[in-house]
């Protein structure tokens, strides 16, 4: 194995349940490397805006980071459950069959403690187009943003 290949393998880390280089472009589509975009949120940094939270959640789905999805979902969300083991497995089952191709933010409106993000997610599940447009609602409690609900458009 060449030294260059060894270095590339060292850079490539197993992010959650898939191989993904922290130097790759972030799945959220910002055009930045993952390590300087959504990774800090996935490691515990709090998003300053609901838009940052929404993009980091999309990246978490794309990278199979179910724990981040769970920790950023409000307890009043219909999918919220205290059975996090089953919830995590449900997320894993979904993301392992899907390929997250693109995220397009259509509209973002924010108040002090509530925000809405309308976006289109281009996703293929089992090679079928499952893309959707959603208007997501976020609320801020104790200085932390949470996903509370979404409506498909």
Strand partners, 25: 33
* pLDDT of the residue at 20: 76
21-152 adopts what CATH topology? Nuclear Transport Factor 2; Chain: A, (3.10.450)
Whether residue 7 is predicted with pLDDT greater than 90 in this model: the reply is no
Tens of pLDDT, residues 46-92 = 999 999 999 999 999 999 999 999 999 999 999 999 999 999 999 99
| Secondary structure of residue 41 in the 3-state scheme | helix
Provide the 8-state DSSP code for 35.
G
Listed range (23-27, 50-54, 117-121) with the worst mean pLDDT: 23-27
Instruction: Judge residue 59's burial from the number of C-beta atoms within 10 Å of its C-beta, 0-12 exposed, 13-18 middle, 19 or more buried.
Output: buried
Whether residue 146 is predicted with pLDDT greater than 90 in this model: the reply is yes
* pLDDT of the residue at 59: 97
């Amino acid at each position: 194995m060449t030294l260059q290949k060894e270095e590339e393998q060292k850079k490539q880390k197993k992010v959650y349940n898939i191989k993904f280089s922290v130097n790759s472009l972030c799945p959220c589509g910002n055009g930045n490397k993952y390590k300087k975009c959504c990774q800090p949120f996935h490691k515990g940094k709090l998003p300053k805006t609901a838009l940052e939270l929404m993009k980091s959640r999309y990246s978490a789905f794309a990278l199979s980071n179910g724990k981040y999805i769970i920790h950023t979902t409000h307890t009043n969300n219909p999918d919220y459950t205290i059975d996090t083991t089953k919830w995590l497995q449900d997320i894993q089952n979904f993301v392992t069959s899907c390929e997250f191709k693109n995220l397009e933010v259509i509209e973002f409106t924010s108040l002090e403690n509530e925000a809405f993000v309308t976006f289109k997610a281009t996703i293929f599940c089992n090679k079928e187009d499952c893309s959707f447009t959603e208007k997501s609602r976020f609320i801020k409690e104790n200085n932390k943003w949470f996903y509370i609900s979404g409506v498909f458009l």
